[in-house]
Amino acid sequence: MTNFFQNKKILITGGNGFLGSQIRERLLPRSGAIVTPHRSEVDFTRQAATEKYLAEQKFDIIIHCAAFYGGMAIHEKFPGNIYYENLMMSTNLIEAARVNKVAKFVIIGSDCAYPGYLNKDILVEEDLWTGPPHETALDYGIVKRILSVQSWAYKKQYGFHSIFLIPTNMYGPGDNFDFGSSHVVGALIRRFVEAKMDKMPFVEVWGTGAPTRNFLYVEDAANGIVLATEKYDDGAPMNLTTTNGCSVRELAEMIREVVVYQGEITWNTSKPDGQLKKILDVTKMKTKLGWEPRQTLRDGLQKTVTWYLAHKIEADRKKKVLYDQTLGNNSGVV
């Protein structure tokens, strides 16, 4: 632990959300002040409000986690909101940070920005512009690419200090388990838990199970972001994830084992798979940070299932697609 964050005032957008709250917890004992505003205090999608807020607050560091997105069902329902809200909020924040001389701006990207149809087993940072994002996440992925350009352009013209981190599919305690908006891990955990409770003979999973992904435990993600905020100064994108990935089929089987569900898994192949291959290279992360995630997938799933069982009633009530629980309070769902 160093004194890098000492006496620094830090804005964490999305600081009340899944990832942001983990980052906040790690920085609270180390920094001068942590600010995690709600939308009732400032709407970052409005340029004038954003500029006024940053001019008044005088932040040293901004870690931009807030985002409006979710699983494939959310992209089907709200592509316009996903594009507009994320684009305006992020570009406004970066511009206001430049004007107000914020010392470091951390952009939390997404693996959705990577090409969706590139037939490569492992994607490196240089692949980012070699093809369009997958159609199932085009709205969100293209915005994240735009932010990487803004980061580059502002550094070139203004000397603006920003970094662009690309975490992968996050999961863990406090995740979203709502069927209408959750990502694959949260949705599968809830399906298997409820199938076991209701003694159902099978669990239906969308697609073929063939897509491959990295799955990143949220506490590891927060640790990596905090470390990169301190130590990574290159403006080029950097992946932040686990060394190994797995298929959705392997993930489903592992969750079944962790839940101790005895029924079968059926695959609804009439439903979309999404991008088939999305495993990210971690060479730069290991070289630049000397770090890698500690949590194994099985242990992380066990902790997540344990948390979900202990908080099921509360967790099932949360529908994070609602504005008053996502961008509605700048808490984000990242």
Q: What is the CA radius of gyration of the chain?
A: 19
Query: Is residue 140 annotated as a catalytic residue, yes or no?
Result: yes
One-letter amino acid of 242: T
Terminal Cα-to-Cα distance of the chain (whole angstroms): 26
Q: How far apart are CA 288 and CA 54, in angstroms?
A: 30
CA distance 248 to 205: 9
Q: Which residues contact 96 (CB under 8 A, 6 or more apart)?
A: 47, 50, 51, 53, 54, 55
Tokens of 252: 């489903």
What's the farthest any 2 CA atoms get from each other in the chain?
62
In terms of Cα–Cα distance, which of 68, 51, 53, 59 is closest to 9?
Answer: 59
From 53, 114, 140, 171, active-site residue: 140
Task: State the Cα–Cα distance between residues 125 and 114, nearest whole angstrom.
Answer: 9
What does the H/E/C string look like for 257-321?
HHHCCCCEEEEECCCCCCCCEECECCHHHHHHHCCCCCCCHHHHHHHHHHHHHHCHHHHHHCCCC
Taken as a whole, the chain contains a residue count of: 334
Ramachandran category for residue 209: left, alpha or beta (phi over 0 → left; psi -120 to 50 → alpha): left
**CB contact at 8 A, 189 and 255:** yes
Look at the block and give the residue holding tokens 């809200």: 85
- Label residue 132 exposed, middle or buried (CB < 10 Å: 0-12, 13-18, 19+): middle
Q: What residues are labeled active site?
A: 140
